[in-house]
Amino acid sequence: MFNWAKQQLANVAGTQEPIYGPTAIKTVAQEAKETGTPYTELTRADHKWLAMDSTCVENQVFYIFAEDGTIALCQVIYSNVAGLKVTCQFNTKIFSRDPAKPHLWCSNPLSNVGFSEDKTSFYADDCAVELSEDGNSYTIKSMNDERALVNVKITKTAPGFHAGKTGTSLYGTDLKNPWGSMRHAFWPRCAAEGTITTKDGPVDLKGKAIYIYALQGMKPHHAAARWNFANFQGPNHTAIMMEFVTPPSYGNTTVNVGALVKDGELIGVSTENNKATHKATKKDTTSDWPEPTQVQFDWSVTSKDGKPVTATIDAALGERVDRVDVMAEVPGFVKTIVAAAAGTKPYIYQYAPKATLKLKVGDEEISEDGQLFTEATFISDLAASG
């Protein structure tokens, strides 16, 4: 009962949770194993906004890799703090290819938020993210910041999916009535077209893209302490990985979803035997976090015809393209959510090196060069504090 009371306080005030252990999370890997369903291709219903009336952060993010080398992102974030305050934000980022020039970062609060009747499209004043009638493309339009006028279309060129049957990990001491959740859904390989118009003129975004939906149905720093994200886009192959590690409250449990794509087909999706490794690190004197300098991503999936498929990227990261101090740069609601949390110090490290994907399909070995975009996020220590 005391733990329950502490958990309720943590829900409202953002304080540290008690130690429940790994039995208080049912990962999407467990769901996939129990149901015998490694992944499920998305239907229209899987694209709905939930707009929960309890604490959550729900977002859609589109990472775009233009043919000329430009990397950009567009993102809508819906957040609810303890059922008391709902805020929405539209973010645009264009990574500068000139080290002497800052990135273009625009983050704007949204007003008069609404959804389509089936909740698959998002609307606000001067902003819309719409799913097409056939469910194969999103159009993103925003005029809420004159520094970045967005008119972009993202069309999936391979099936969208989530892991298991629901794409969801559940948190709580009674997992039939969970108090928290984490869900991800992906369009791993997409075509991008359109522009973001800046003060210097339109930026042509024709190229490749990835779309990710994420729902953290609880305070983000209670759901995860660390994140690794990898997205490789090559001429013929895509490899993506989303990995998080829970805080000690949930046993430092690792949850990893990895997928491999060839052209328009999903080779396979797995929640087991994928791994993100920081092979070398250096201490970031600003944050004290161990910033990665060399990474390795390993995938292990089974193809539709039953063949084992493995893949590896081993890459030196070079200079990071950005370090995001989450408490300084993201919308105020995150500060509200984490303000009272002991030991919470969220930083996101972003890198965009060229890399080589090495695949082994049965006895066949394939090597492909392409663009890697990867993020390492540190939120809190993995050791329980006394």
Bridge partners of residue 170, in order along the sequence: 26, 181
- How does pLDDT run across 285-316, given as a tens digit for each residue? 998 999 999 999 999 999 988 899 999 999 99
Phi, psi at 5, each rounded to 5°? -65, -40
Which pLDDT score is estimated for 71?
97
For the chain, the farthest-separated pair of C-alpha atoms sits apart, in whole angstroms, at 60
Mean pLDDT, rounded, for 242-258: 96
Q: Can you tell me the distance from the alpha carbon of 263 to that of 201, in angstroms, rounded to the nearest whole number?
A: 32
Which pLDDT score is estimated for 332?
54
Which pLDDT score is estimated for 198?
96
Chain-centroid distance of CA 96 in Å reads 21
Confidence of residue 190 (pLDDT cuts 50, 70, 90): very high
Q: Can you tell me the distance from the alpha carbon of 42 to that of 92, in angstroms, rounded to the nearest whole number?
A: 26
Which pLDDT score is estimated for 321?
94
| Domain range summary for the chain, segments of one domain joined by + | 24-378
CA atoms 272, 184, 170, 222: torsion sign: positive
Which pLDDT score is estimated for 18?
83
Q: Spell out the long-range contacts of 325-331 with Cβ–Cβ below 8 A and sequence spacing 24 or more.
A: 325/287, 329/105, 329/107, 330/89, 330/107, 331/77, 331/79, 331/87, 331/89, 331/107, 331/109
- How does pLDDT run across 142-153, given as a tens digit for each residue? 999 999 999 999
- How does pLDDT run across 340-386, given as a tens digit for each residue? 455 678 899 999 999 999 999 988 999 999 999 999 999 888 876 54
- What's the pTM value of the predicted model, to 2 decimals? 0.92
Is residue 16 predicted with pLDDT exceeding 70? no
User: Which element (helix H / strand E) includes 63?
Assistant: strand 56-66
Q: Give the up-direction half-sphere exposure of residue 263: CA atoms within 13 A in the CB hemisphere.
A: 0
Strand, coil or helix: what is 164?
Answer: coil
**Pairing relationship of beta strands 364-378 and 226-233 according to DSSP bridges:** antiparallel
Q: Can you tell me the distance from the alpha carbon of 3 to that of 18, in angstroms, rounded to the nearest whole number?
A: 6
Q: Which residues of 337-356 are buried (b: 16+ CB within 10 A; e: fewer)?
A: bbeebeebbbbbbbbbbebe
Strand, coil or helix: what is 10?
Answer: helix
Give the total residue count for the chain.
386
Highest average pLDDT, of 9-23, 74-88, 222-236, comes from 222-236
Which pLDDT score is estimated for 1?
31
- For residue 181 the two structure tokens come to 């959740």
Is residue 49 predicted with pLDDT exceeding 70? yes
Q: Can you tell me the distance from the alpha carbon of 384 to that of 378, in angstroms, rounded to the nearest whole number?
A: 15
Which CATH number applies to 24-378: 2.40.370.10, 3.30.300.30, 3.90.180.10, 3.30.390.50?
2.40.370.10
Mean pLDDT, rounded, for 50-62: 87
Mean pLDDT of the chain: 90
